[in-house]
Amino acid sequence: MLSNGIQRGFPQKWLSTVPEPRVHHDEQGHFLYSISENVKVYFDDFYRFLEETEKKCLVELGVLNYKLNRAPEDHQETICYYKARKVIVEQLLKNVYSFYSDSTNLGVIMTSWCFGTVVLEKIEIYRDRLIKGEATDPNLPDFPYYVFTYLDEIYKNTLLDIFGFPPQAFSVRWQYSELLKRYSKVLSEVNTSLQQILHSVKSRWNGGS
């Protein structure tokens, strides 16, 4: 369980009682083979990793808020650096909550490095939306130029610091979003085929009547 009371999306009781062909069990616990990497991932390991990441994020936010409250108002670049780092940490925390609580998609169970690259990709998308004015963030000042500049400079290293990953952790992109797009395309094609079949059957039925 996370500090705010959020429960595991796939608790032990569910894993033990619900028949799911993708979930396996051995002496170390329940596991599955992840979608992106096709490697064995234990549910307990994944949730434990998210729990530790949440703790690190909360400590980091506490430090940043402390520094922001004591930073002189004329030190705008320093303040913008803290705010940029806060944007990154808050987005990471948001994803921790989302993945931890997800009870509908076994695809969220993945290795720690894969989760890191997923968050990296999501933060890049969020950064671009902020720059284009398509999203708002409470950490952005009236003139957010320096915040955007620092976001570009520090988002990768900030994530590496919090996760405790080596730089090579981000050398491979698992393209999680691209994988989901591919699945969506397949489902869309299946749906289109079904619609065509139904239309054909309906046409024959109407013609026969």
Summarize pLDDT for 155-175 with one digit per residue, the tens.
999 999 999 999 888 887 655
Of residues 194 and 165, more confidence is placed in: 165
On the question of pLDDT at 44 being above 90, the answer is: yes
pLDDT at 183: 47
Average pLDDT of the chain is 88
Among the residue ranges 16-25, 55-64, 84-93, the one predicted with the least confidence is 16-25
Q: Residue 195 burial by CB count (10 A; 0-12/13-18/19+): exposed, middle or buried?
A: exposed
pLDDT at 38: 87
Reported confidence tier of residue 133, pLDDT bands at 50, 70, 90: very high
Instruction: Give the residue carrying structure tokens 């931890």.
Output: 100
Residues of the chain with pLDDT > 70, as a percent, come to 82
Strands 24-26 and 29-33: antiparallel
pLDDT at 171: 80
Summarize pLDDT for 177-187 with one digit per residue, the tens.
555 555 445 54
On the question of pLDDT at 58 being above 80, the answer is: yes
What are the sequence ranges of the domains in the chain?
12-174, 178-209
Q: Can you spell out the DSSP letters for the chain?
A: --TT-PPPSS-HHHHHHS--TT-EEETTEEEEE-TTT--EEEHHHHHHHHHHHHHHHHHHHHHHHHHHHHS-TT-HHHHHHHHHHHHHHHHHHHHHHHHHH--S-GGG---HHHHHHHHHHHHHHHHHHHHTTSS--TT--SS-HHHHHHHHHHHHHHHHHHHT--GGGGSS---HHHHHHHHHHHHHHHHHHHHHHHHHHHHHHHHH-
On the question of pLDDT at 189 being above 90, the answer is: no
